[in-house]
């Protein structure tokens, strides 16, 4: 059974810092890994999708890496801004479903 763990559960940093969010999974037989952002009471917004054959993906200030053999992914956020405050979720795709981590609640202080 696939299990996804995100560390840390919460993170508070001052504006402008670069930061790294971690995601680990127990079963390396995945199709892809997706990072999402969720604002309070809202749905999920897809940030980055990494295929199982890829090592990383970049979008603006965001960079996600994937090491399938070790069951790890990281989301790097450069030059953080208060608008980046949200919960960040990673999810791995197995057979016809996503398995989510519990998320990292990120607060960027002005």
Give CA–CA dist 61/35, Å, rounded.
Answer: 14
Give CA–CA dist 27/19, Å, rounded.
Answer: 26
Count of residues near other proteins by CB under 8 A: 24
Binders of other proteins among residues 35 to 54 (CB under 8 A) are 36, 41-46, 49, 51
Q: Which of 14, 83, 95, 110 binds other proteins (CB under 8 A)?
A: 95
**Least gap, CB of 100 to other proteins (angstroms):** 4
Could you say whether residue 103 binds other proteins (CB under 8 A)?
Answer: yes
Q: Which of 31, 55, 67, 78 binds other proteins (CB under 8 A)?
A: 31
Please provide the DSSP assignment of 9-72 as one string. Answer: SEEEEETT--EEEEEEES----SEEEEEEE-TT--EEEEEEEETT-SEEEETTEEEEEETTTTE
**Least gap, CB of 101 to other proteins (angstroms):** 8
Site string for other proteins, 62-81 (x = CB under 8 A): --------------------
Could you say whether residue 55 binds other proteins (CB under 8 A)?
Answer: no
Give contact residues for other proteins (rule: CB under 8 A): 31-32, 34, 36, 41-46, 49, 51, 89, 91, 93, 95-103
């Amino acid at each position: 059974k696939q299990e996804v763990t995100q560390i840390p559960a919460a993170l508070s940093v001052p504006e402008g810092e670069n930061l790294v969010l971690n995601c680990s999974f127990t079963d390396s037989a995945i199709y892809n890994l997706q990072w999402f952002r969720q604002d309070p009471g809202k749905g999920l917004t897809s940030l980055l999708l990494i295929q199982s054959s890829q090592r990383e993906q970049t979008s603006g200030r965001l960079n996600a890496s994937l090491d399938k053999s070790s069951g790890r992914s990281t989301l790097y956020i450069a030059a953080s801004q208060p608008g980046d405050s949200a919960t960040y979720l990673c999810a791995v795709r197995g057979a016809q479903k996503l398995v989510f981590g519990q998320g990292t609640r990120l607060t960027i202080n002005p």
